[in-house]
Amino acid sequence: MVPNVVARPHRPSRLKGLSFALLAAASALLAAPAAHAEGRLRIVEQFGTVYLPLHVLRDQKLIEKHGKAAGIDIAVEWTKLSGGAAINDALLAGAVDIGAAGAGPVIVLWDRTRGTADVKVIAALGEQPNYLITSNPNIKTLKDFTKADKIALPAVVVSQQSRLLQIAAEKEFGEGKYNALDDITVSLPHPDATAALLSGSNAITAHFSNPPFQEQALQNPKVHKVLSSYDIMGGRITPTLLYATSKFRKDNPKTFKALFDALTEASQWIESHKAEAAATYIRVEQSKLDPAFVRSVIDNPDVSFTTTPQGTYKYAAFLARIGAIKTKPASWKDYTFEDLHSRPGS
């Protein structure tokens, strides 16, 4: 029996409704006042166990704890959106302070804000693979996709999964053909894409997913994995990053440090408390998933929770080569805050 998709199930018939809800949430964020004093922190996240460190922060009130240790009370506000593009818009509008998105969208934003907002990476959220999965039995490689197929991912062209697909497509079809599959991709949040794929309809025949949605879908014998992000990138990577403007860091040093220290504590706690971490995910997300199933996802040997970025420079080099960014960074340290620079990142 396939586990439930999410705590608040998103069925295919509700796809349009959720899209409107996300649009409304984004609009409300963009209308929010930008200026505020230190001691207030507005964080936006997305869907999946890759955001588990943020769930732990919220559940254990770790940011508030580290703030108090520094002599400051911090009020933390949480919002959820889907896709790096929507989160980047909210961050630049001053509607949120901290974004959480894939390395691709974050590096593009770093490039576009150099000399202005100067957006940089605070930390990674962990190493976790993304799977391209499909319900079409005829698809074994990227070359098997046809115009009749539709690949769901968080945001067409700009999302982490879109960039991964482009890197994979260029490897499969030849140099310069990175956009060979872009025209069969569609934007859907992971919960809805999973529901659509499992529904048996032909509206969505593939999904470039993330944990735990990909593992859930693979419980269905009609769904199989085509490839992994680790295959594409040649090793383990941290797909999702936390980021902010340089101005926020400068104007809110105590709040920023409380967040950074809380992230470090949360990641270390997850590594040694897997069962409790799975329970945290279910509690915070109000999920109906089996705790043992969530535990199996975060127990995967390919998963680890580290705040040190790994493999992100490969995205930067690709984005520079195809012209998605104007400035190729000299190293991963160019687009990260110096708090990380003593670590063995990449």
Output the domain CATH number for residue 257.
3.40.190.10
Is residue 1 assigned to a domain? no
Token pair recorded at residue 243? 């980021």
- Which pLDDT score is estimated for 2? 38
Token pair recorded at residue 304? 């680890």
Helix or strand holding residue 269 (H, E): helix 253-272
- Clarify whether residues 22 and 162 are in a common domain: no
Please identify, among 233, 250, 277, the residue that sits at the C-terminal boundary of a domain: 233
- Name which of 93, 181, 170 is nearest 145 in CA terms: 181
Token pair recorded at residue 244? 């902010």
- Clarify whether residues 169 and 311 are in a common domain: no
Please identify, among 181, 199, 233, the residue that sits at the C-terminal boundary of a domain: 233
Give the single-character DSSP code of 98.
Answer: B
- Name which of 142, 149, 107, 138 is nearest 124 in CA terms: 107
Alpha-carbon span 337 to 61, nearest angstrom: 24
Please identify, among 202, 233, 264, the residue that sits at the C-terminal boundary of a domain: 233
Is residue 3 assigned to a domain? no
- Clarify whether residues 30 and 118 are in a common domain: yes
Structural domains counted in the chain: 2
- Clarify whether residues 116 and 249 are in a common domain: yes
- Which pLDDT score is estimated for 332? 98
Is residue 173 assigned to a domain? yes
Is residue 326 assigned to a domain? yes
- State the chain's maximal CA–CA distance in angstroms: 60
- Clarify whether residues 105 and 149 are in a common domain: no
Q: Can the peptide bond before residue 212 be classed as cis, meaning omega within 30 degrees of 0?
A: yes
- Which pLDDT score is estimated for 167? 97
- Clarify whether residues 65 and 202 are in a common domain: no
Is residue 5 assigned to a domain? no
Is residue 221 assigned to a domain? yes
- Which pLDDT score is estimated for 36? 52
- Which pLDDT score is estimated for 7? 34
Token pair recorded at residue 263? 């992230």
- Clarify whether residues 329 and 242 are in a common domain: yes
Beta-sheet strands, E only, within 11-51: 40-45
Token pair recorded at residue 130? 């993304």
- Clarify whether residues 106 and 245 are in a common domain: yes
Q: What is the span of the domain harbouring residue 229?
A: 131-233
Along the 346 residues of the chain, how does pLDDT read in single tens digits? 334 443 333 333 333 333 434 444 444 444 444 445 689 999 999 889 999 999 999 999 999 999 999 999 999 999 988 777 788 899 999 999 999 999 999 999 999 999 999 999 999 999 999 999 999 999 999 999 999 999 999 989 989 999 999 999 999 999 999 999 999 999 999 999 999 999 988 889 999 999 999 999 999 999 999 999 999 999 999 999 999 999 999 999 999 999 999 999 999 999 999 999 999 999 999 999 999 999 999 999 999 999 999 999 999 999 999 999 999 999 999 999 999 999 999 9
- Clarify whether residues 140 and 60 are in a common domain: no
- Clarify whether residues 116 and 80 are in a common domain: yes
- Clarify whether residues 23 and 123 are in a common domain: yes
Is residue 24 assigned to a domain? yes
- Clarify whether residues 172 and 244 are in a common domain: no
Is residue 308 assigned to a domain? yes
- Which pLDDT score is estimated for 32? 46
Alpha-carbon span 327 to 319, nearest angstrom: 9
